[in-house]
Amino acid sequence: MDAESSIHSFVIKIWLENTPKGAALTPWRGRITHVATGEYRSIKSMDEIAAFICSYLNEGHQKPAFRQQLASLIRRFRLDLWKW
């Protein structure tokens, strides 16, 4: 397998959903797209981003904790967004 066939690109768009005034939480929403295939998924949680990405990766080449590490990275990213 050449290196290019094991590379995947994704576009992730996230935004805060409009909520009524006085709502306790404003939920994040988004969409993730696999660039090569155009397949996309609407997302309602940051963990869904990791699940979508992992669905494209060859399970045989993943470290056992890869999905958890990716999910943790995405959660940290979300926390950083709240600092804006």
Report which of 20, 11, 12 is spatially closest to residue 81, judged by C-alpha positions: 12
Domain ranges of the chain: 3-82
| Residue 79, beta-bridge partner list | none
Neighbours of 40 (CB within 10 A): 14
User: 3-class SS at 6?
Assistant: helix
User: 3-class SS at 48?
Assistant: helix
Taking each helix axis from N to C end, the angle separating 66-82 and 46-54, rounded to the nearest 10 degrees, works out to 150
Joined tokens for residue 53: 């990405």
Tens of pLDDT along the chain (84 residues)? 455 567 889 999 988 777 777 777 767 789 999 999 999 999 888 778 888 888 887 655 555 567 777 777 777 776 665 554
